Chains A and B, each alone.
Chain A
Amino acid sequence: MLKVLIQKEFKQIGRNSFIPKILFVMPLMVILVFPWAANQEITNIQVAIVDNDHSGFSRRLTDKIAASDYFRLSAISENHEVALSTMEDDNADVILEIERDFEKRLMTEGVANVMISVNGVNIIKGGLASNYMSSIVREFATELREENATSAIADVGLNLLPVARFNPFGDYKVFMIPALLVMLLTIICGFLPTINIVSEKEIGTIEQINVTPVKKSIFILSKLIPNWILGLLIMSVYLSLAALVYGLTPAGSLLTIYLFAVIYILVVSGLGLMISNYSSTMQQAMFTMFFFMIIMIMLSGLFTPIASMPRWAQTLTMFNPLRYFIEVMRMVYLKGSGVESLYKQMLALLTFVVVINFGAIRSYKKSG
């Protein structure tokens, strides 16, 4: 019985003009466009430099900043006021002022001051600019120290270099691509079964099924299994694209990823099925699905770190299956984690599978 129902689903998918396209277009869009659009790395920060020293050291620092990918030297101003007006004209995001006697103080005292002023209008850009700038200055200090190990400069400056572990270049794409897969699977495997069942309701074929002795669980399975296979297919397309386009492959095992995906797809498909059971029209189903999607994506840690959410929102994320799979994807891709260190996420997702699919079967009513 299940066999003929699954054959039917695949024949319908095959004749559908839309689904096979979505299978390739969606992963392509997500992988080619999203990592760039969802990039929170900031480049092209405009710098105005006020060099009061005009020494070899001050010029070296200036060159170092200009050579950085993040900064673009927009002005060399003679004093702070001029630099500030550059900022007011929006031609500078950050001002670096090098004090008079910069070189001399460094040589004799081993300490010197630079001042970083940041345009706070765009707080994110400003914050990052100040961070980048500080690290360049610190790097400069380290260089000096290494060159002059014997002189007073040996003790120069701070030594607080941040090290991005697991993502050594701090590449935002490496962070986003594994997680975006979760969004893709959530959208496709959540919406397809919803559309499928509700359209059977609207056309009236579901009534013809309801009047047959098909068991509820068999009917639900006949919707879940094709969706499952589609999901894994889409995922394979996506992961191949990630490797081809960005050269990004998981540090851990692909098997771990597939294992979690198999479980995760069951969670979202179950959710979609449950929603379609409660909806009698397509509009109703789509609105409900959108509602859940947006909340789930916002509370997943995909775009914003969960750790910086307020306590109550953090609690909410515990009931969000997306959160766990995103954690898994990032950990496997970046850290190379294996199943043994992901048992918490596994447990959480398995709980979702059981609860949601039980709900999906219960809420499917063959008779009113």
Chain B
Amino acid sequence: MDYVIETKDLTKRFGNFTAVDNISFAVGRGEIFGFLGANGAGKTTAMRMLCGLSRPTSGQGFVAGYDIFRQQEKIKRNIGYMSQKFSLYEDLQVWENMRLFGGIYGVKDSVIFSKIDETLEKLGLSSERNTLVKALPLGWKQKLAFSVAIFHEPQIVFLDEPTGGVDPVTRRQFWELIYEAASRGITIFVTTHYMDEAEYCHRVSIMVDGRIEALDTPHNLRQQFQATTMDEVFHRLARKAQRQGE
């Protein structure tokens, strides 16, 4: 299989605290990979290392074929990232944010402008083209942030709890966007708290106290833990956790 993310014994320590403890896994091209875990399990830290935002303490890792120790800037060229905290510019208009990030990734102006219209139409936000982002409701903002994260057609997009605080209908729409992106060959690496969302993933890993305790398809995991839902699987594993969440 063609892997776009591969890690081996990846570890991150902050002083005496081991946030991420020897994790090894691989994600295939075009896969929707769910990265689950309780608060404080080390998901965000692991994701930040993969994105080149944080330097690992030890281990190995390759993202889009580049070393996460030495080629962070090359990785950044090939990924999209949507952080937990909403982070588009609130004082810029919808199209201005798209133009800004398109420009930063070196997308040509002519492409940017046709793509802005196309994307807004798809999101049903054409009428909000010139609205300041801060005036949008949260659900729209999240969809917009996702579209900006994949605007430059990255190989992989990292989503850190993208649907936090969003209503079920919008969450559903959000996952439609994710599927649409995956069908175009973009690999999706997503963390979430919602176990119904875990069912939408091709494969799922569950982190407990910095380690990956389970990794398989949702179907296989349910069988392995003799559970009827992913929720049950998660509870069995998360109960073992020693760490308290934030």
Contact call A211/B81, Cβ cutoff below 8 A:
yes
Pick the residue among B73, B83, B99, B101 that contacts A207 (CB under 8 A).
Answer: B83
* Cβ < 8 Å to B, chain A residues 1-60: 1, 3-5, 7-8, 11-12, 15-16
The bracket for how many chain A residues form the interface is 20 to 34
Given contacts A4-B99, A4-B100, A213-B77, contact A208 B87 (CB under 8 A): yes
- Complex Cα distance, B73 from A366, in Å, reads 10
Interface string of B123-153 (1 = CB under 8 A from A): 0000000001000000000000000000000
Q: How far is the CB of A91 from chain B (nearest CB, A)?
A: 61
A316 beta carbon closer than 8 Å to chain B? no
Pick the residue among A5, A12, A15, A203 that contacts B87 (CB under 8 A).
Answer: A203
Contact call A367/B100, Cβ cutoff below 8 A:
no
Q: How far is the CB of B120 from chain A (nearest CB, A)?
A: 18
Interface string of A172-211 (1 = CB under 8 A from B): 0000000000000000000000000000000111011111
Contact call B79/A211, Cβ cutoff below 8 A:
yes
CB-CB under 8 A from A203, the residues of chain B are: 87, 90
- Complex Cα distance, B7 from A184, in Å, reads 53
Interface string of B79-112 (1 = CB under 8 A from A): 1010101111111100010011101111000000
CB-CB under 8 A from B91, the residues of chain A are: 11-12, 15-16
B219 beta carbon closer than 8 Å to chain A? no
- Complex Cα distance, B104 from A212, in Å, reads 7
Pick the residue among A1, A3, A4, A211 that contacts B51 (CB under 8 A).
Answer: A211
Interface string of A101-143 (1 = CB under 8 A from B): 0000000000000000000000000000000000000000000
B115 beta carbon closer than 8 Å to chain A? no
A162 beta carbon closer than 8 Å to chain B? no
- Complex Cα distance, B191 from A139, in Å, reads 88
A214 beta carbon closer than 8 Å to chain B? yes
Q: How far is the CB of A225 from chain B (nearest CB, A)?
A: 16
B187 beta carbon closer than 8 Å to chain A? no
- Complex Cα distance, B16 from A76, in Å, reads 84
A368 beta carbon closer than 8 Å to chain B? yes
The total of interchain contacts (Cβ-Cβ below 8 angstroms) comes to 75
CB-CB under 8 A from B90, the residues of chain A are: 203
Q: Which residue of B lies closest to A211 (CB)?
A: B81
CB-CB under 8 A from A4, the residues of chain B are: 99-100, 103-104
B171 beta carbon closer than 8 Å to chain A? no
Contact call A207/B86, Cβ cutoff below 8 A:
no
Contact call B89/A368, Cβ cutoff below 8 A:
no
Q: How far is the CB of A9 from chain B (nearest CB, A)?
A: 10
Interface string of B55-83 (1 = CB under 8 A from A): 10000000000000000111011010101
Q: Which residue of A lies closest to B99 (CB)?
A: A4
Contact call A208/B92, Cβ cutoff below 8 A:
no
- Complex Cα distance, B51 from A359, in Å, reads 26
- Complex Cα distance, B89 from A16, in Å, reads 13
Q: Which residue of B lies closest to A219 (CB)?
A: B104
Q: Which residue of A lies closest to B79 (CB)?
A: A211
CB-CB under 8 A from B77, the residues of chain A are: 213
Contact call A5/B104, Cβ cutoff below 8 A:
yes
Pick the residue among A3, A208, A211 that contacts B52 (CB under 8 A).
Answer: A211
Q: Which residue of A lies closest to B83 (CB)?
A: A207
B54 beta carbon closer than 8 Å to chain A? yes
B53 beta carbon closer than 8 Å to chain A? yes
- Complex Cα distance, B208 from A295, in Å, reads 51
Contact call B53/A212, Cβ cutoff below 8 A:
no
Contact call B88/A11, Cβ cutoff below 8 A:
no
- Complex Cα distance, B107 from A1, in Å, reads 10
Interface string of A335-368 (1 = CB under 8 A from B): 0000000000000000000000000000000111
Which 3 pairs from chain A and chain B are nearest by CB? A4-B103, A204-B85, A211-B81
B interface vs A, CB < 8 Å? 51-55, 72-74, 76-77, 79, 81, 83, 85-92, 96, 99-101, 103-106, 132
Q: What would 11 A/B residue contacts be, using CB atoms closer than 8 Å?
A: A1-B106, A11-B91, A12-B91, A203-B87, A204-B86, A207-B87, A208-B87, A212-B76, A213-B106, A367-B52, A367-B54
Extra contacts besides A4-B99, A15-B132, A367-B52 (10): CB < 8 Å: A5-B103, A11-B92, A11-B96, A16-B91, A204-B83, A204-B87, A211-B51, A212-B101, A213-B104, A213-B105
